[in-house]
Amino acid sequence: MLENHQGEILVAKRANNKDQGGLWEFPGGKVEKGETRLQALKREIMEELNYQLKQATPLKCITHKYPEFTVKLDVWYSQDQQPKVYPNEKQPLKWVTKAELTKLAMPAADKPIIEKILKIGID
C-alpha cells in the first residue's frame, strides 16, 4: 500500500481479462522462488509502477478463501511525499482517500486490509 503526502492511497484497476477483472486493488504481486517478501514487493512495484520503493513496513497478512482458490496477501505500507508512478501494464491508477476505499469495487480479500487502514488511521 502506497500513500502520498495528502494521505491518499494508490489503487490499480485489474484488467478485465484477469480473475476479478475490473476491480480495484492495491498494487503488488507474488513472491518468486529465492526472493524475500520485501524483495518481491520492490520488484513487483517496479514492474507495475516503474517506481522504486524507498522503504516499507509490514502492515497485515491475511488468507482469504474464494470458492475457486485461496489467496494469501502480505500487505506492506509505504509513504512517499510525492511518488511518481507510471502504469507499466497500462492499468488505470488513481489516488483515493481512505474513506473512498470503502466505496470502491475491490476483491473481497482486500476488505480486512481496508478495515485495518481505517482502524489504525495510518497517516
Q: Cα separations (Å) of 79 from 4, 64, 68, 109, 123?
A: 6, 26, 34, 22, 8
- Whether the per-residue pLDDT at 120 is higher than 80: the answer is no
- The per-residue pLDDT for 18 is 83
Alpha helices, H only, the chain:
37-49, 98-101, 111-120
Alpha-carbon torsion angle 12, 77, 81, 91, nearest 10:
-10
Q: Which domains does the chain have, with CATH numbers?
A: 2-120 (3.90.79.10)
State the pTM of this model: 0.88
Q: Cα separations (Å) of 109 from 5, 6, 20, 37, 45?
A: 26, 26, 11, 19, 20
CB 80 within 8 A of CB 4: yes
pLDDT per position as a tens digit, 8-42: 999 999 988 888 889 999 998 888 999 999 999 99
pLDDT per position as a tens digit, 56-85: 999 989 999 998 888 888 999 999 988 999
Strand partners, 94: 11
